[in-house]
Structure 1
Amino acid sequence: MHFHFKGEGKFLPENIPNGLCTHILYAFAKVDELGDSKPFEWNDEDTEWSKGMYSAVTKLRETNPGLKVLLSYGGYNFGSAIFTGIAKSAQKTERFIKSAIAFLRKNNFDGFDLDWEYPVGVAEEHAKLVEAMKTAFVEEAKTSGKQRLLLTAAVSAGKGTIDGSYNV
């Protein structure tokens, strides 16, 4: 698909044609060494002066009710060290998951996308983290009465990275 805009090179959520997407993954959020969720950019969250980009994207559901909007954590530039530290510590894993759920709910997202590039050498820890997240998402939905948060992951297509990163 191609879009052409005259003037400034600006593309905002409202420029996405209604009905084009079933899912949107907003990139990115980040997490600190303790496991606490943080916005990636200064204008991601709402302030007392303006609406943030998170709100602009999730607002698209008003005209496209079936749309699911997920928040991606990590990304290529985020690296692997923080996720590795979280996955290797039960305490940090628990804190991260609780923080992520609260952050996703506060910002009106439908789910979480784990963009850990890449869990090379810690495949078991990666799998345990994803399993713990799924379990927590199911439990949170039961206790809150809300729709269960979706869980997706960006993974490598390279065989060497796959072999060293994932339990497949």
Structure 2
Amino acid sequence: MNPERSASQEALDPDFNEKAREVRQEIGDRLRWIRAHHPEGPFSLEALAARSKIAKRRLASAESEDGANLTIETLVKIAHSLDVDRVAYFIDSQVFEDVNAQLALLREFQTRNVSSVALRTSHAPDIPPSTRAQLQKALMGIVASLDGASEDDTGQR
């Protein structure tokens, strides 16, 4: 980026505008995804609006084709209302994948009526990502072993 360019010049740059539109669209896609796939969901726009205390119209605009310009505060409110502690979920692909894998594990536990799992916060900054990944893999292994143990001699569940 040329330091001599002003913010207003940058905002008029077609490449900048296109990149901003792509980011808004990604945020909208991820918002739709989590509404549909959240372990406590799916959530309608109306339900998420009530839960997050953000206007339904604002949420619908965020999910529209071009997306809305959302403030950091709005993204934080949405994330926290959905119990997603990592706000980067909406803008970082790796965080999006990590959180979705954790939510899938929660859904799996709910499906199997696992009432609780005693874990310290898996998003704590002192736990390296590789350790979190190993923990998640171990938990998925437990789920897979439950599948095998639940089959009877006829191979039926």
Which interval holds the TM-score relative to the shorter structure?
under 0.3
Query: Comparing both structures, which one devotes a greater share of its residues to strand?
Result: 1
Which of the pair has more CA radius of gyration? Answer: 2
Query: Comparing both structures, which one devotes a greater share of its residues to helix?
Result: 2
Choose between structure 1 and 2 for higher RCO, CA contacts under 8 A separated by at least 6 residues: 1
TM-score normalised by length of structure 1: 0.25
